[in-house]
Amino acid sequence: MTTAQRLPARDRLLQAADRVLFDRGIRATPVDELLREAEVSAATLYAHFGSKDALVAEALRNRLADWRAVWDQHIVAAGDDMARLLAVFDALAAYRGGRHRPARWCAFLAAATELPDAPDEISEVLGADTALLAERLLQLSRPLAGARAQDLADEVLVAYSGALAALLRGSPRDPIQVGRRLARTAAEAHSRG
């Protein structure tokens, strides 16, 4: 183990952004708080990113990459078609229990709500998250639902989004498991034809 290294300012900023922004709220978090958390000066932030929005966008892109990787792992580890489809819920639970401080609900949907007039750079990340979900769920639905794969994929996307929104709501207690149940039942119904 080498001595503890201090990360460069840019990385400290991204870490602080990921830690604070999606937990306490993007608009609710002033730049000064990020600067304090990251122990970085304002000049450095604007030298590296140019704006708060650009820092938000980069933090979201990193989060999407991490989420995709976690989801990948859970798909690979799954044993059959049903488990592969439901892996999105296990991945979500794992992601939220992992090294990130869990967002209050969903960083991408929160950004969409909090920043309705956000620069394209930001709305593109939500679009990319949604596209990733829609495409993968469709692929994973095919072996289970055949010609009705699109219907099943839509249903799982709604169940997944519902788990996230229910986290924000605070009810039911364990929305990710509830969403998973919902998705499993839908998949079984389509399998029976």
Interaction residues for DNA, span 54-113 (CB under 7 A): none
Of 20, 164, 191, 193, the one binding a second copy by CB under 8 A: 164
Least distance (Å) between residue 83 CB and a second copy = 19
CA 163 – CA 172 distance, rounded (Å): 9
Q: Read off the tokens for 7.
A: 């990360």
Interaction residues for DNA, span 26-45 (CB under 7 A): 27, 29-32, 39-44
Q: Look at residue 70 and give the partner it binds from DNA, a second copy, none, a contact being a CB closer than 5 to 8 Å depending on partner kind.
A: none
Under the binding rule (CB under 7 A), the answer on residue 25 touching DNA is no
Q: Look at residue 48 and give the partner it binds from DNA, a second copy, none, a contact being a CB closer than 5 to 8 Å depending on partner kind.
A: DNA
Residue matched to tokens 């704006």: 51
Least distance (Å) between residue 57 CB and a second copy = 18
Least distance (Å) between residue 46 CB and a second copy = 23
Under the binding rule (CB under 8 A), the answer on residue 92 touching a second copy is no
12-18 CB contacts, 8 Å cutoff, 24+ apart: 12/38, 12/39, 12/40, 13/38, 13/40, 13/44, 13/45, 13/48, 13/49, 13/55, 14/55, 14/58, 14/59, 14/62, 16/40, 17/55, 17/56, 17/58, 17/59, 18/59, 18/62, 18/63, 18/100, 18/101
* Furthest-apart CA atoms within the chain: distance in Å: 61
Contact map string, positions 42 to 61, toward DNA, x by CB under 7 A: xxx-xxx-xxxx--------
Least distance (Å) between residue 62 CB and a second copy = 20
Are the C-beta atoms of residues 101 and 19 closer than 8 Å to each other? yes
Binding site for DNA (CB under 7 A): 8-10, 27, 29-32, 39-44, 46-48, 50-53
Q: Which residues bind a second copy (CB under 8 A)?
A: 24-25, 27-28, 104-106, 109-110, 112-117, 126, 130, 133-134, 151, 154-155, 157-166, 168-173, 175, 178-179, 181-182, 185-186, 188-189
